[in-house]
Amino acid sequence: MDTQQEEIDLQKLLRQQLHSLGQFGVREIPVGNGDFEFQFEAEEASIEPIERSKVPPNNSPQPAAKTVAKATAIPAPAATTPLSDNWGPATVHDERPSALEIINAEVRGCTKCEELCAKRIQTVFGVGDPSARLVFVGEGPGADEDRMGEPFVGKAGKLLNKILAASKLKREEVYILNTVKCRPPRNRNPTESEIRDCWDYADRQLEVIQPEFICCLGSVAAKTMLQTTQSLGRLRGKFHPWKGARLIVTYHPAYLLRNEGAKRHVWEDMQLLVKEMGIDLSN
Ligand code: URA
């Protein structure tokens, strides 16, 4: 078989495979490691190769274009992104904001925990960049967060903002979420069953965002994510593997407000974290 015929056959095979994926509702496929990258529109199953030479350089270790792992769970958008001459990672349609919005809509309507949803003003989903390299995971909303609908906006949040600034991180460039989405009354810890019922939302947020780094603020987040009963003191100060991300544990900012002495440990943990992220704190 000559090369031209082989190419035609290959394209035909690819079209068929993409067409059947499209019928299952798959909107995008991850970019591969070969010389070409493909995006396809499900209805037309049209194939458009992108030459790597046209792809702008990306210095970040995070892949420029990420597709949502649970693609089948995401309804197809009404309009598809038109393919143009200059499309590449920067213009590949990123479904993360809409995927997060779908989860948020579920959270808003959640009635799994009777007490929490009877007493909440609103659910507190998360805030930040849906493509963040780093996600902070707190415990649960307090009174201020319940009122504002955003995590870490009260006293502990102000301290977290200072920690971020000292670590050369911008709040809008990271993503912040909590282990549970509703305020536990009187600021008690969330119960095991509340965490069990709620954690799936955060887990799915993380699956959409696909961060490289995760920082657990406090033992509720750490024990939930690492499925351990070990103390925070034993868990902090090192990276733990978590579903392809690197997870670090540190003290909760609210704990720091009561225990000044723990601040130096948080600073050590943040230095370790941002160093791994390639951030230079020396100037
Ligand atoms: N403490 C948390 O764990 N989360 C918040 O959003 C606020 C305070």
The CATH number of the domain where 170 resides is what? 3.40.470.10
- Residue minimizing CA distance to atom 3 of ligand 1: 139
Our CA angle for 105, 108, 110, nearest 5°, is 110
Using CA atoms, how far apart are residues 224 and 133, in angstroms rounded to an integer?
Answer: 21
Question: Is the Cβ atom of 140 under 6 angstroms away from ligand 1?
Answer: yes
- Is 116 among the domain residues? yes
- Report yes or no on 84 lying in a domain: no
- Asked if 52 and 127 sit in the same domain, the reply is no
In a domain, 81, yes or no: no
- What's the pLDDT at 150? 98
Q: Is 138 in the pocket of ligand 1 (CB under 6 A)?
A: yes
Q: Does one domain contain both 97 and 66?
A: no
- Check residue 226 and give its pLDDT: 98
- Counted domains in the chain: 2
Verify that 268 and 182 share a domain, yes or no.
Answer: yes
Same domain, 158 and 250: yes
Question: Could you read off the pLDDT tens digit of each residue along the chain, which spans 283 residues?
Answer: 555 555 544 454 444 444 434 433 444 444 433 222 222 222 223 323 323 233 233 333 333 334 333 333 333 333 333 333 434 444 456 899 999 999 999 999 999 999 999 999 999 999 999 999 999 999 999 999 999 999 999 999 999 999 999 999 999 999 999 999 999 999 899 999 999 999 999 999 999 999 999 999 999 999 999 999 999 999 999 999 999 999 999 999 999 999 999 999 999 999 999 999 999 999 8
Note the pLDDT of residue 2: 53
> Is residue 114 in some structural domain?
yes
Backbone CA torsion sign across 51, 56, 58, 64: negative
Where does a domain end: 49, 75, 101?
75
Q: Given this model, what pLDDT does residue 137 score?
A: 99
Pick the residue whose CA is nearest to atom 6 on ligand 1.
151
Q: Is the CB of 190 under 6 A from ligand 1?
A: no
Q: What is the pLDDT of residue 283?
A: 80
Coil vs helix vs strand at 230: coil
Nearest to 187 by CA among 254, 252, 142: 142
Q: Please check whether residues 100 and 56 belong to one and the same domain.
A: no
Q: In terms of domains, do 251 and 118 share one?
A: yes
Residue 281 is assigned to a structural domain of this protein: no
- Return the pLDDT at 208: 98
Which residue among 127, 147, 205, 252 has the greatest number of ligand 1 atoms within 8 angstroms of its CB, and so is best to mutate?
Answer: 252
pTM across the whole model? 0.71
β-strand 245-250 against 239-242: which pairing, if any?
A: antiparallel
Whether 105 and 27 map to the same domain: the answer is no
User: Residue 283: inside a domain, yes or no?
Assistant: no
Query: Residues 67, 103: one domain?
Result: no
CA of 67 to the centre of ligand 1 (A): 29
Q: Of 40, 75, 110, which residue sits at a domain end?
A: 75
Judgement on whether residues 272 and 143 belong to the same structural domain of the protein: yes
Domain match, 61 and 137 both = no
The answer to whether residues 69 and 108 belong to one domain is no
pLDDT of residue 6: 55
Question: How do beta strands 127-128 and 46-51 pair?
Answer: unpaired
Residue 83 lies in a domain: no
Phi, psi of 217, deg, nearest 5? -95, 100
- Does 82 fall in a domain? no
Which atom of ligand 1 sits closest to the CA of residue 217? 3
Same domain, yes or no: 50 and 99: no
71 lies in which domain range? 1-75
